[in-house]
Amino acid sequence: MDYPDFSLSGQVALVTGASQGIGHDLALALAHAGARVAVAARQVGLLERLCAEIAAEGGEAAAVEMDLRDRGSIEAAVAATVERFGRLDVLVNNAGLGTNHDALDATEAEWDDLFAVNVRGLFFACQSAGRRMVGQRYGRIVNMSSQAGLVGIRRHAAYTSSKAAVIGLTKVLALEWGPYGVTVNCVAPTFIRTPGTAERLDQPEFLADVLQRIPVGRVGSTTDVAGAVLYLASPSAGLVTGSVLTVDGGWTAQ
């Protein structure tokens, strides 16, 4: 039999929102798996330390500027990645925005901002990368959704709506691009401990409420998310497309 292959040796990956948190760690994990990695953010200067970390471990990385609110910026970042590395095999759409307040307090600006980045920008990143992947008849696109895209989360109306839209979009792209060897999937994490979530997760009452909803009894780590992304990005996930891989400790099983 053929054994599973989770190596990304020789492949080129582009990670959006890579300047901090989950995106930073995903880039490191992809590089550790053998990929040459383009890391993207609005401020390229914030990516210097990440590129240095990857180089220190023997990997190869390049920083590219990308503003998901600007379609031209998205296309330029993808083009720069292909120019630097010669191809693009993996796109990880990690960049995103969130909010946390009652639906009665939601504003038009909030909805516009979240959908501009979480849905519109994500789509055009998929489209730009997809053109290259369809042409080379191989590609892996991993979109970052959330458990909030599958179940309602109080005080997250705009965020939940945007992440549900990501799941629907992922399924459509999987249908259209599957015949060309391009898979498109989602990862849907629960609360992940990062510098950005520490403020809430360090509140005992908030943490207790979260943990009582997670059967395995803990919040997630960036390593948990990286494992899911690496699988979906690997050659072994060739028959997996249009899927949502929940990394939620059982939250959405209830």
> What CATH number has the domain bearing residue 104?
3.40.50.720
Is residue 2 one of the residues assigned to a domain? no
Residue 202: what pLDDT? Answer: 94
- The answer for residues whose C-beta is within 8 angstroms of residue 112's C-beta and 6 or more apart is none
The pLDDT tens digits for 61-97 are 999 999 999 999 999 999 999 999 999 999 999 999 9
Residue 144 half-sphere exposure toward CB, CA atoms < 13 A: 28
Residue 135 makes CB contacts below 8 A (sequence gap 6+) with none
For the full predicted model, state whether its pTM sits above 0.85.
yes
| pLDDT value of position 138 | 98
| Residue 211, pLDDT score | 97
Q: Tell whether 99 is covered by a domain.
A: yes
Q: How many CA atoms lie within 13 A of 202 on its CB side?
A: 6
The strand pairing partners of 13, in sequence order, are 37, 90
Specify if 52 maps to a domain.
yes
**What's at 161, amino acid-wise?**
S
Instruction: Provide the pLDDT for residue 161.
Output: 98
Residue 115 counted as domain residue: yes
**In angstroms, rounded to a whole number, what is the distance separating the alpha carbons of residues 149 and 167?**
7
Tell me how many domains the chain contains.
Answer: 1
What is the set of active-site residues?
Answer: 159
Low-confidence ranges of the chain (pLDDT < 70): none
76 in any annotated domain: yes
Residue 215 lies in a domain: no
Tell me which residue range forms the domain holding 48. Answer: 12-193+223-245
Q: What per-residue confidence (pLDDT) applies to 2?
A: 86
What pLDDT score does 141 carry? Answer: 99
Provide the strand spans (E) within 180-243: 182-189
Query: Is 46 within 8 Å of 19 (Cβ atoms)?
Result: yes
Please indicate, yes or no, if residue 218 is contained in any of the structural domains. Answer: no
Residue 20, domain member (yes or no): yes
pLDDT at residue number 1: 81
